[in-house]
Structure 1
Amino acid sequence: MELSPLPLLLLLISNICSQHTDENPRATVSIKPAQHVFRGETVTLRCDVYSEGVNSWEYRWYKESSASVFSELQELTFSSVTESDAGKYVCIGAERGGSQTSCRSDDVTLTVSASVPRAVLSVSPQRWLTEGDSVTLICQVNGSSTGWTFSWFTQTLLSDNSNNFKWLSDGSRGAGGNYTVSSADLKHTGVYLCRAERGKPAYNSTISNTQPLWVTGVSPPVSLIVSPSRTQHFTSVSLSLSCEEQSNSTGWRVRRYTDVWRWLEGCSSLWGSQTGSTCTIGNTIPDDTGVYWCESESGENSHPVNITVHRGVILESPIHPLTEGENLTLHCLFQYSTPTILRADFYKDGTLIQSQTTEMIISTVSKSHEGFYSCKHRERVESPESWTHIFDHCRLGHAVVLQKQQRWKISVSLSCQSTEEQQADIRAEPE
C-alpha cells in the first residue's frame, strides 16, 4: 500500500499524538468567513495551539500532498481568493525556542466557487395578506449559509418610470436573513429585494429576485376602479383603471407588477396611457396579466387587484374583497358569443360546486367561502382561477373606520365569542 506523500515530520507527529494525546496539544484551524467561498473574497485561515506553560509558538502550514512548507505565519490570508487556492490545509505548531511540538490539526478543506454568489428571496407563508397578518421575507445565498449579513430594499418608480431601489432602514428586522412584518399594513404593499454581504472588505452577492407583498385592508384611502368591473378580462379590448380618492392625499397613480416582467411598472406608453389618475390599456394582451393598485406620492396604497387577461372563457367575479354577510355572484363569459353569459359548471379550489347554470350566487358569505373560483363550459375551455377574498368580522378589530357616501364616521367594536355569535357596539358621528 502506497503512503500519501505527506511530509515526514507530519507522519512522525501523527504517530506521537496517537500515543501521547495527553502530552501534546493539538493545533486547531479556524477559517473566516467560511470554508465555501466565492472567487474574489478575502479568506483567512488561522492556526492556534493552546498549552499551559507555552507562551509563544511557531507555525507551519502544509497544503494537500505538498511536502514543502506553504506558510510560516499564524494567519494564512488570501486577499482575493481564486480556484487555485482551493484544497486541504493542515497546520502544526512548535514551541518557539523550546522542544514541544503540537499535534497536527485536522484537515480543513477550502472550496472556491467561480460563480458570483446569488441571493434568493422567498416569502412565508404567502404574499397575499390581510391587514394584521404576519409575513416573513427569507433571504438566502445559493450554495452558502455562513457569515452573511443582509440588506433589504423595495422598488420605487422615478418620474420617468424607471426603477430605483429604496433601502429599508429598519434592517434589524432582517437579522439572520429573515425580514419579518409582524402586523401587515396597506403601506407594506410593494416589491421587495435583498442582498447579502460578508467579510472585510465587504463582498456582495447579486441583488435577489423580486418578491411582491399584497395587503388588503378594511378602509383604504383610495379604491382602484376597474372598468369593465371584474378581475378577468378578454384579450383585444379596452381596460380602464382609475384611482378614486377618499382622502386628502394627492398624486395617485396606477402601478402594476406582472408575472412576465416581475418588475414594478407605472402606466406608460409601453402598455397604457395616463390621464390624471386614470390609466387606460387600449388593446389588452395576456402579458397584461398581473397585480394592479394605486399609490400616492406620500406612499399610501389602495387594495391590490389581481387582473387576468385571457382569450375565450373568463369568470366574472368581484373586484374587491367581500365582507362576511355579503353575497357573492359569479358568471361565466365567452368572448365570441352574444350574449356572452354561458351555461357552465362552477368550481371552488378545483371541486365542482354547481352544474349547468348561467349564474352562481352564494348568499351571506363567510370566511369558509374564500378561495379560488373558476368556471367551465362543457364544449369550451375552462376559465382561469380567480381568488375571492372574504373579510372575517373577527379580524376587523375594534376600531374600524368605514367611510360611506353620506360621510358618516362609524366606529365598530367587535367581541367574537364564536363564528356563529358576534356582538358589536356601533357608534356613529358625522365628520
Structure 2
Amino acid sequence: MEVTALCIQIFMNVFVLLSTQACLSYTVQKPYFPIISPDRLQFFEYESVFVNCGGDKDMNAWRVMRKLYQISPQNVSEACSNTAPSCTIHNTFERHSGEYWCENDEGKRSHAVNISVTAGPVILNISAQPVKEGSDVTLRCINKNTERTHISDFYKDDVHLTTYYKTDMTLFMVSKFDEGLYKCSISHQGESPESWLTVVESTEEEGCYIFLVFNITFLCTFDT
C-alpha cells in the first residue's frame, strides 16, 4: 500500500510542474488605458501629473501621445516626452488639458483618456481608470481653497442628479447606464470641468487552464 501511494504522489507533482511552466509563457498584455497618477481626470493648475504606458521592459516600444485642446487650430498630435513610455508634467496649466493615449511604432494605440486642468477652484475627483460593472464608485467634489465639508451639486450629461450636504456622492453597483459625463458645483465657488466615467463589463480574469492528456506508467515493484 505504501508503494501505491508513492506512485500517485509522483503523478500529481508532474502535472503541477507542467501546468506552472505553461503559465509562465503567458503573453504580456498591451496597455488598455494609460495609467494616470494621481488616479483622476481633473487637476488644479500647478499640480503634477504622471502618465505611464506600463512599467514592464517589453512596454518600452510604447510611448505617451497627446492631443492638447489649445495647442493649435489643427489640434495636432504630439509625443508627450519624445519616445518615452511615461511622461511627467510638472506645474500643469489649462493648456495641458487634452486627450492622452499610448502608441507604438506599428501604429497600435490604447484607449484614450481626457485630462482636464482648470484654473478654477473646483474639480471633480473621478477615476481615470475604467470601473467594473457591479462595483461602487465614489465621486468627490473638491474645493481648492478649503477642506471643509460643503454643499455639492452633481450632474450627469448636464442633468442635475442630486444635492449633497457633503463632498462625496457614491454610485452603487454601476452599470453601463451610469456611463457618461459628470461634473459638480459648489455654491458661490464655481463648477468643475466635465469628465467621462467609463464602465466596463465585469469579467473574470483569464487564467492558465492547461488540459494535459498523457499516459504515464509507473512500475512499482515490491517484495512479496
TM-score, normalization: structure 1?
0.38
Give 2:107's aligned residue. 299
Correspondent of 1:258 among 53, 68, 86? 68
Give 2:80's aligned residue. 267
Whole-Å separation in 2 of the counterparts to 1:345 and 1:352: 7
Select the structure of larger CA radius of gyration.
1
Task: Report the 3-state secondary structure (helix = DSSP H, G, I; strand = E; otherwise coil) of the residue aligned with 1:368.
Answer: helix
Give 2:118's aligned residue. 310
Normalized per residue, which structure has more helix? 2
Which letter maps to 2:143?
A: F
Normalized per residue, which structure has more strand? 1
1:376–1:359 Cα change, 3 Å = same
1:276–1:350 Cα change, 3 Å = closer
Cα deviation, residue 370, structure 1:
1.1
- Work out whether residues 49 and 89 of structure 2, in 8 Å CA contact, stay in contact via their aligned partners in 1: yes
Give 2:53's aligned residue. 243
Post-superposition CA distance 1:96-126 (Å, at most 9, x none): xxxxxxxxxxxxxxxxxxxxxxxxxxxxxxx
Whole-Å separation in 2 of the counterparts to 1:330 and 1:308: 16
Unaligned runs of 5+ in 1: 1-218, 269-273, 394-399, 403-408, 411-427
Q: How does 1:24-423 map to 2 (within 5 A)?
A: 221-222=30-31, 223-245=33-55, 248-260=58-70, 261=72, 262-268=75-81, 276-311=84-119, 312-337=121-146, 339=147, 342-356=150-164, 357-392=166-201, 402=205, 409-410=206-207
Whole-Å separation in 2 of the counterparts to 1:335 and 1:220: 38
Cα deviation, residue 333, structure 1:
1.0
- Work out whether residues 375 and 382 of structure 1, in 8 Å CA contact, stay in contact via their aligned partners in 2: yes
Task: Report the 3-state secondary structure (helix = DSSP H, G, I; strand = E; otherwise coil) of the residue aligned with 2:190.
Answer: coil
- Work out whether residues 37 and 49 of structure 2, in 8 Å CA contact, stay in contact via their aligned partners in 1: yes
Which letter maps to 1:240?
A: F
1:220–1:361 Cα change, 3 Å = farther
- Work out whether residues 63 and 83 of structure 2, in 8 Å CA contact, stay in contact via their aligned partners in 1: no
TM-score, normalization: structure 2?
0.69
Which letter maps to 1:242?
A: N
CA RMSD in angstroms comes to 2.7
Cα deviation, residue 245, structure 1:
4.9
- Work out whether residues 250 and 297 of structure 1, in 8 Å CA contact, stay in contact via their aligned partners in 2: no
Which letter maps to 1:322?
A: V
Whole-Å separation in 2 of the counterparts to 1:227 and 1:390: 19
Whole-Å separation in 1 of the counterparts to 2:149 and 2:196: 20
Q: Report the number of matched residues.
A: 177
- Work out whether residues 220 and 302 of structure 1, in 8 Å CA contact, stay in contact via their aligned partners in 2: no
Post-superposition CA distance 1:29-73 (Å, at most 9, x none): xxxxxxxxxxxxxxxxxxxxxxxxxxxxxxxxxxxxxxxxxxxxx
Cα deviation, residue 242, structure 1:
1.4
- Work out whether residues 142 and 167 of structure 2, in 8 Å CA contact, stay in contact via their aligned partners in 1: no
Post-superposition CA distance 1:310-347 (Å, at most 9, x none): 1211111011222211222100112222x377541111
Give 1:146's aligned residue. none
Cα deviation, residue 258, structure 1:
1.7
The runs of at least 4 aligned residues of structure 1 exceeding 6 Å deviation read none
Unaligned runs of 5+ in 2: 1-27, 211-224
Identity among equivalent pairs (%): 35
Cα deviation, residue 221, structure 1:
0.9
Whole-Å separation in 2 of the counterparts to 1:306 and 1:330: 17
- Work out whether residues 333 and 342 of structure 1, in 8 Å CA contact, stay in contact via their aligned partners in 2: no
Cα deviation, residue 282, structure 1:
1.3
- Work out whether residues 231 and 308 of structure 1, in 8 Å CA contact, stay in contact via their aligned partners in 2: yes
Task: Report the 3-state secondary structure (helix = DSSP H, G, I; strand = E; otherwise coil) of the residue aligned with 1:374.
Answer: strand
Task: Report the 3-state secondary structure (helix = DSSP H, G, I; strand = E; otherwise coil) of the residue aligned with 2:36.
Answer: strand
Cα deviation, residue 392, structure 1:
4.7
- Work out whether residues 59 and 85 of structure 2, in 8 Å CA contact, stay in contact via their aligned partners in 1: no
Give 2:10's aligned residue. none
Cα deviation, residue 275, structure 1:
9.2
